[in-house]
Each structure stands twice: as C-alpha cells, then as structure tokens.
Structure 1
Amino acid sequence: MSKKKKTAVLIEVFLFSVAVVWVIPVISTMQVSLKNGGFQNYKDVFSTRINDVLILPKMILNSFIITGGTIMIVMISASLAAYAFSKLRFKGRKFFFVLLLSCYAIPILSTLIPNTLLIRNLGLRGSYISMIVLLATANIPLAILIFKGNFDGISSTYLEAAAIDGCTDFQVFLRILLPMSKSAIVNVLVVLFIQVWNDFQIPLVFSTDPEKYTLTLAPTFFGLTQNRLDLPHLFASIVIIAIPVIVFYMFMQDKIVEGMSMGGLKE
C-alpha cells in the first residue's frame, strides 16, 4: 500500500471515530426519550397545555419568530456595514471596523445586567422585540466579518464599471455585490440560524411569560414532573429541539461546502 493510500485510510478511520463519538450521545438521548412510555412521551410533550395553549407548538412558533426576525435584521445591517467597510473610503474606517469586531470579544453574559436594566426601562421585557434586538446585536460583528471577507475578494473593476454606467453606491451593492456573494449569504444564514435557534441565555432572562418561551427552554419546562426529574420527557424535548437544526443543516449542506470553496472573484 502506497503512502498516499495509507494516509487516506488513516484519515477515514479518524473521521469514522469522530463520527462514532458524536453519534453515541445522540443515540443515547433518543433511547432515554423513548424509555417507559415510548413515543407516548413525545405525544405528552406536544399535548401539554398552559392557559388552553399547546405550549410546545407555541415554543416552536416563538423560536421561528425570534430566529427569523434576528436573521432579517442581521443580514440587512451586516451586509450594508460590510459594504461600507470594504468598498467605501471614509475617515476612521479601520478604527471603527476594529472597534466593531472588538465587541464580539465581549461575553454576552457580562452584558446581561445592563441589558436587563435597559430593556426594563424601555418597557420591552418579555417581548419578542427585546430578544430579537439583543440577539441581533450579539451576532452582527461576526456577520460583518464574513461579509467583508467576501466583499474584499470581489474585483473593484465590476464596481467601477457599474459606477460609470450611473449606478449609485446602493445600486452597486444591490445589483453587483449581493448577487456575487451568494456563498457568504449562505454561510451567514447557516451560522445565524444555528446560533440564534440554540441560544438559551437571552430567552431565559428576557421571556417572562411561558407563552413567550422559545424551544431551547423546553427542557427546563418539561424536565420536572411533580418536583421529580422526568428524564424521558426531558430528553424528548431535547430531541425535538435538535430536529430543526439537523434538517436545516442537511438541507444547506451542499451550499455550505460551496461557500467554503468560493470567496468571490479575486483581484
């Protein structure tokens, strides 16, 4: 066996081992979720009501509302900001870009107290908009970094040609940069969906009404039955949380690989 084939075999064995390590907890979670009641555990979780409202479907709806609103705000604001930092020339551009990225290094836990006071003073605690705004501001710096990296790789020749044809800065952004940045858009979309959907801290602190809970809070809600730890229903809720992320990732897998291999047209 040649050295190249040996290397390929070792890589495959390593990847298989990693896959096994990741799959075992998933299988164990599903086994525990089916313990005792079987699929009745899932039915119980879905049929639980609060104030005549099916709480789990409501959690799923809340998660989609908050995730969708956050993604919309971040995609629009981050792409426009990245365009300004990448292609426009203005005083203090590098300073403000570094300042913005430094915000990403601040742990979100360290901002919970001031954010709580701010949201309370604005009368927004427990509302969708408070969670959407906080999640958006936490994810904008990373989105700007991804978009800017893609915009930097797009040749300025296209932008200059569009400007000669009479396009404004916004038209250049909308008609030239965005169509050539599909890979970056997909990458940002995937990262945002996974991070916002799985966020636990913001909904836990800022959703005061159980009817505003997101799906990530389901384990804290279904994990206790008559003051006892209810593992089957707890793990059933965990499986339900993971399903949308897994389906979304599988659906976008080809686009993710394409995004990793494409960074726009280089100078």
Structure 2
Amino acid sequence: MRSNTAGRSAAYTLTTVMAVVFMLPLVWAVVSSVSPSPGTAQTDGFGFGNYTTMFRYGLGFPSYLKNSLVVSIGATAVTILIAATGGYAFARFRFRGKNALFVLVLSVMMIPYAALLIPLLVWMKDIHLQNSLIGVALVLTLFQVPFSIFMMRNSFATIPRELEEAAYIDGCNSFQAFYRIMLPAVRPGIVTVGLFTYLAAWNDFMVSLYLLSSEKAPLPLALVNMRQQTMGVIDYGSTTAGVVVLTLPAIVLFLALQRYYIRGFTSGAVKG
C-alpha cells in the first residue's frame, strides 16, 4: 500500500514538473507580448499595443485568419472522408492486392516531407492550383492521409462484425450500415484523425511558403513576414503577440476534444 502511494506521488510530481516545463514558453510569450520593450509598439507600461500592430499588419488579421481556416478545415474534411472510407475498406472488405495497396499507402510516410514539395509545386501549377488555398489543403491532405487511414483501419477492426450483421438483418445496405452503425462506433478515432490533421494544417508553414503568395498567406506565414520590419529589425513584440494568437485556438480545440483524442489512441487506434 505504501509503495503504491509513493509511486502515485512520484508520478504526479513528474507530470507536474513536465507540465510546468511545457507551459513556461507559452507563459513567457503571453507576458512578453504585453510587456514594454524598445522598438515595439508597446514601449511604455503593460498593454496591448503589440496586438494592435499585429491585427493591422498587411491585409489585416481577419484576412489571414480566414486563409488559415479555409486551409485547415478543408484539409481536415477531405482527410476524414478519405480516411474513414479507406480505413473501412481495408478493415472489412477482401479484394485482390489489399495488403500491397495498404503498404503502398503507408509508404508515403517514408518519403521525406521536403522531397515532395518541388514536384507538388510543378503539379499544382499544371492543374492551375498554384497560389490556391484549395491546393494547399489538398497537399496537406496528401501528407496526412496515410497515417489517418492506418488509424481508421485499426479503429474499424476493433468493432465486432455482429453490429454490421445486425444492421443488414434490419434492412440496411452497406452504406447505411457504414453511416449509421460504424461511423458512430469509431467516433473517437474520427475525432483523433480530425484533430491531428487540423493542428498540422493550422501550424503548417512550409507548404504555404512554396505555394502561396503573401496576399493569400495563412497565419504562420503572415507571422513570419511580419517579423521583418524597417531595416530588417525584428519586431519581437508583435511576433510574440502573433504566437499567442496562433496558439490559443489550437489549445482550446485540443482541450475541448481531448477525451476523444485520448480514447482514439487507446481504444484500438494504434493496435496492429
């Protein structure tokens, strides 16, 4: 009994220390964004001058926010659609070459991220999706689909086949059984895939840098462009304000969906 108590105390202490360590950079960014500093919009006393500068930069914060939302929501929606249908097919159907096709899908994860950007840039230009938010969303979907299909395949594999058979007996066809029975049963896996994809697209910088102009920049790219002010001097105040604004939506979304996210990883999403 005493050893169990000591073990729990050590675990709580370790997790608390880790939480503090991970939170320190964010706390530092919040404090720095409102603190007075020479060369920034907030030179006298604490205030929100840096946030005002950040919101007024370029085309304005709402424009860059809209670009980020289009890219993130678009990539998330397409990834969930492909991963759910593809994962269900790999988990339930038998067809020639299924294992080889599954390995081929997973092999995309083995290709270095940067190695595909130049070919994708040429391809997007050929299909007239260069400098397009839709094009960026599709490219990000390409990088997220293999892992997402892997997770959804394993999530569907943990659902008893008797549920589908009962649906067929009740008169459902294959699509109705998939939509009404299977999708609700793997909701944690779907939320996990969606949250993972959304956060990756929300924070993406490299693809937007290659494919988009500054007028269509999402928040991460606009934030980098904002850093360089007159004579190349970095505006650290506005930069930290942008980091805080960029981080908060992701934190709120994760906290709201974390119970599904954890269940998605622990209830079959990572089982072979």
State if a TM-score over 0.5 links the two structures: yes
> 45, 50, 55: which one pairs with 1:41?
50
Matches within 5 A, 1:172-191: 172-191=177-196
In 2, distance between residues paired with 1:131 and 1:29? 29
- The answer to whether the 8 Å contact 1:183/1:263 transfers is no
Aligned position for 1:16: 16
Aligned position for 1:26: 26
> 156, 161, 173: which one pairs with 2:161?
156
- The answer to whether the 8 Å contact 2:71/2:136 transfers is yes
Aligned position for 2:120: 115
In 2, distance between residues paired with 1:110 and 1:169? 39
- The answer to whether the 8 Å contact 1:63/1:215 transfers is yes
Aligned position for 2:131: 126
Deviation at 1:261, TM superposition (A): 4.6
Aligned position for 2:229: 225
In 2, distance between residues paired with 1:93 and 1:72? 25
Aligned position for 1:101: 106
Deviations 1:200-247 (A, max 9, x none): 111111112x22101111321221220211111111111111011011
In 2, distance between residues paired with 1:130 and 1:261? 33
- TM value normalised by structure 2: 0.90
Deviation at 1:144, TM superposition (A): 0.6
Letter in 2 for 1:159: E
- The answer to whether the 8 Å contact 1:218/1:237 transfers is no
- The answer to whether the 8 Å contact 1:79/1:147 transfers is yes
In 1, distance between residues paired with 2:265 and 2:83? 19
In 1, distance between residues paired with 2:180 and 2:23? 43
> 125, 133, 141: which one pairs with 1:136?
141
Deviations 1:142-198 (A, max 9, x none): 111111111001111122233344433222211221121111111112111111111
Aligned position for 1:86: 91
- TM value normalised by structure 1: 0.91
In 1, distance between residues paired with 2:7 and 2:266? 23
- The answer to whether the 8 Å contact 1:62/1:213 transfers is yes
Q: What RMSD over aligned residues (CA atoms) do the two structures have, in Å?
A: 1.7
- The answer to whether the 8 Å contact 1:222/1:237 transfers is no
Aligned position for 1:243: 248
- The answer to whether the 8 Å contact 2:189/2:261 transfers is no
Shift >6 Å, 4+ stretches: none
Gaps of 5+ in 2: 37-41
Letter in 2 for 1:45: M
In 1, distance between residues paired with 2:101 and 2:169? 29
In 2, distance between residues paired with 1:232 and 1:252? 31
- The answer to whether the 8 Å contact 1:186/1:256 transfers is yes
